[in-house]
Structure 1
Amino acid sequence: MDYRMEGQAAYVLHSRPYRDTSLLVDFFTLEHGKCSAVVQGARRPNSRLRATIQPFVPLQIGWRGRQDLKTMSGAEPVGQMLFLTGSALICGLYVNELLERVLQPFEPHPKLFVYYQYVLTELAAAQDIEGALRTFEHRLLGEMGYGLDLDRIDPAGHYRYRAGQGLVPLGRPPQKPDMYYFTGNQLQAIGQDHYASAEVRRAAKRLMRLAIEQLLGDKPLRSRELFLKLKE
């Protein structure tokens, strides 16, 4: 492990109290993927880092340490905080929690970092939140090795999603379509991240949830529970 690193592009995924006055923070970085660092004194009232170590702020950070848990040596904002409110905020927390759960420490995912910046920008604009989320989920699955192989879909075909197998072609549509059934046209649009159609958006939401459940396992996401409460 590198003892000292400086000038690393990063975002905060999650933070929690550490000892009396510090924070333990998980960052998503461009060059090193997810990394955890102790931010010493960040909980003190006069700490200049209190307002900096926040989600949705583009940062440049540095750290030191030979173990997996680093000690942060500096952090500077390099752009404006993206102000997310309402459902966009819950979706931003969902994206952060998803990355927190699936990324392994110090595994770089530079393409995913770019898609993360994209989805945050789209959430802040609040114009096509659903399309941005589906695009991000689609690219996340590919980066994690759970790609859906949507390049060879027959647009006239019929498919069923099966856990552990992915999309399995069917000879004909089922008599009673369920949440596991998808048309070739739907899948082709999802493969191209074209979500203008309400039918495709509904199909993409089902498909991404099924695939992400395989990636996450049995432990539910807290942000989904928050979103359900928001809708009540």
Structure 2
Amino acid sequence: MAAEQKAAYVLHSRPYRDTSLLVDFFTLEHGRVSAVAKGARRPNSKLRSSIQSFVPLQISWGGRSELKSLLTAEPVAPTLLLKGNALLCGLYVNELLDRLMLPFDPHPQLYVFYQYVLNELLSEEDIEGALRTFEHRLLTELGLMPELTQKVAEQVYLYEAETGFRPLSQVSEHQKPSCFYGSHLMAIAEDDYNEIQTKRAAKRLMRQLIDRALNYKPLRSRDLFQKM
């Protein structure tokens, strides 16, 4: 009986033993799945050309442990040819998924938003807005996004990791990085990034939430941004 095929994208791959690869996939039905692609580093391997980032795949695997054995990986559409900043942003999105998602924790809605952000990166029309939308949806799916709605537009709110947002009557200098206008928070809730101030507020907020979720461990993709 042929193995069941699942929709997937490659998040990350690295050498494994002499000729194989250890690959992390984002799958539609099963979330993040890690699998060994045996012999994938050999020149004549059928898997070698398929295991590429930003390629929609149909994959199958076997095995009873959490680390699976990849059986097949077949592209179902051409590779998205991201370049420059769009490519770095794509690597950033992949790293977030790889670092924050638990194994075999399905998020089909997030899979749709992943496809959305890749297409937006390809178009290069509003990369920053697309990234903020994806970060928002990722954190929401993982239960890490504080409540953004039901705010007073002109009110300033302080974000605190333990309690969420609370209104402030006065803002001290050291509180400023964690302070946000209610109007910006409500716009972020709607993924409305038409205003530059909303984009800036969203970037600050997402950075704080993501850093905390990662236990303040650095992202390799951010290092690449800085080097570029």
What are the superposed Cα offsets for residues 79-110 of structure 1, whole Å, 9 maximum, x if unpaired?
Answer: 11111111111111111111111111101011
State the match for 1:174 in structure 2.
171
Structure 1: which amino acid aligns with 2:86? A
Q: Which runs of 5+ in 1 are unaligned?
A: none
TM-score (norm 2): 0.95
Distance in 2 between the 1:207 and 1:201 partners? 10
Question: Which residue pairs with 1:184 in the alignment?
Answer: 182
What is the CA-CA distance between 1:173 and the residue it aligns to?
4.6
Does the CA contact (< 8 Å) of 2:20 and 2:37 recur in 1? yes
The residue that corresponds to 1:109 in the other structure is 107
Aligned residues of 2:7 and 2:58 also touching (Cα < 8 A): yes
Per the TM alignment, residue 6 of structure 1 is displaced from its structure 2 partner at its CA by: 1.8
How far off its partner does 1:175 sit?
5.7
Structure 2 matches for 1:13-92, cutoff 5 A?
A: 13-92=11-90
- Cα deviation, residue 39, structure 1: 0.7
Unaligned runs of 5+ in 2: none
Task: Specify the code of the residue in structure 2 equivalent to 1:203.
Answer: A
- Kindly provide the CA deviation profile for residues 157-188 of structure 1, in whole angstroms up to 9, marking residues without a partner as x: 21011122222222x25264721111111111
Partner of 2:7: helix, strand, or coil? strand
User: In the aligned structure 1, how far is the partner of 2:172 from the partner of 2:70?
Assistant: 58
The match for 2:92 is 94
Counterpart CA distance in 2 for 1:192 and 1:155 is 14
C-alpha distance in 2 between matches for 1:55 and 1:112: 17
CA contact (8 A) 2:28 2:106 kept: yes
Q: Which amino acid aligns with 1:66?
A: R
Partner residue of 1:163? 161
Alignment of 1:186-225 (within 5 A): 186-225=184-223
The RMSD of aligned alpha carbons is 1.3
- For 1:221 and 1:186, locate their aligned partners in 2 and report how far apart those are by CA, in whole Å: 26
CA contact (8 A) 2:149 2:185 kept: no
Report how many aligned residue pairs link the two structures.
226
* TM-score normalised by length of structure 1: 0.94
Q: Equivalent pairs: percent with the same residue?
A: 59
Match of 1:11 in 2: 9
How many Å separate the matches in 1 of 2:112 and 2:9? 12
Give the Å deviation of 1:218. 2.4
State the 4+ residue runs in structure 1 displaced beyond 3 angstroms: none
Q: Comparing 148-157 with 204-213, which one deviates more in the overlay?
A: 148-157
Q: Cα deviation per residue 1:27-64 (whole Å; 9 max; x = unaligned)?
A: 00000000111111110111232221000000000001
Q: What CA distance in whole angstroms lies between the structure 1 residues aligned with 2:179 and 2:219? A: 24
